[in-house]
Structure 1
Amino acid sequence: MTLVKAGMVVLDCTEPEELAEFYRGLLDGERTAASANLVEVRGADGVRLAFRRDINATPPSWPRPENSLQLHLDFLVHDLDEAERRVVSLGGRPIETRTTTGPQEHRAYADPAGHSFTLRLLPRTAPKQG
């Protein structure tokens, strides 16, 4: 029997209901619990996130050094362009951290409360040979 089970990632923010709605939409999930200061969301694939009210929460400033990266989430996607459209439609914003040419395998964003996250392209698997 496992002594410790993985729980969930909890993000501090000033408006947990709004942030939970952003991630619920992004993950095609559902709201699983809520209280005055905490809202939980379970994504369609089982990812669990919670959002805790902290009236003094300060958004991270990453990639700037002051109040830098506090937490980073990676979400795996099949189509970066489609996933980006969803992020933006839900209130997220792209974070330009570098300029590159050619295809990218990941893109950085901030959620409506300022937490950074990355959409990362799922690795392509080669077709079976033979």
Structure 2
Amino acid sequence: MAVVKAGVVVLDCAEPEKLAEFYRELLAGEQTGASANLVEIRGADGIRLAFRRDVNATPPSWPRPENSLQAHLDFLVEDLDEAERRVVGLGGRPLDTKDPAGPYEERGYADPAGHSFTLRLVPTAAPKQG
């Protein structure tokens, strides 16, 4: 039996209502709870995110070296260009990063409060050869 039954990723930000709306729209989700200092959402695929008010929140400067990454989210997508248009349309911005090394095609972004996240292309299964 699992000791921990559920988890929520919590991002600190100055305006949790606005940031929750960005992610609710991006993930086609719903708001599941709110208080004066915390808003929680659940994405259509079940991911749970919460946004906690911190009036002194400073976004990380990643990929610049003067501040650590702190934390970021990875989202799987089937079409990077379409997903990028959605992110930018909701107020996110692409981050100026080098092409990542590795087997996955991905792109980095910042949400409206400056938290970084990655859109990663869902790997397709290659057809079996011979």
Is the structural similarity TM-score above 0.5? Answer: yes
| Structure 2 residue matching 1:25: 3-state secondary structure | helix
Matched, 1:92 2:121: no
The residue number in structure 1 matching 2:111 is 111
Q: 1:99 to 1:75 in 2, by over 3 A?
A: closer
| Structure 1 residue matching 2:12: 3-state secondary structure | strand
Matched, 1:43 2:43: yes
List structure 1 segments (4+ residues) > 6 angstroms apart after TM superposition. Answer: none
| Structure 2 residue matching 1:85: 3-state secondary structure | helix
1:16 alignment partner AA: P
Q: CA deviation at 1:52?
A: 0.1
Listed as ranges, the matches of 1:1-130 within 5 Å are: 1-98=1-98, 105-127=105-127
CA RMSD between the two structures? 1.7
Q: How many residues align?
A: 127
Q: What is the rounded CA distance, in whole Å, between the counterparts of 2:65 and 2:12 in structure 1? A: 20
Q: CA deviation at 1:123?
A: 0.5
Deviates more, 1:84-93 or 1:67-76: 67-76
| Structure 1 residue matching 2:86: 3-state secondary structure | helix
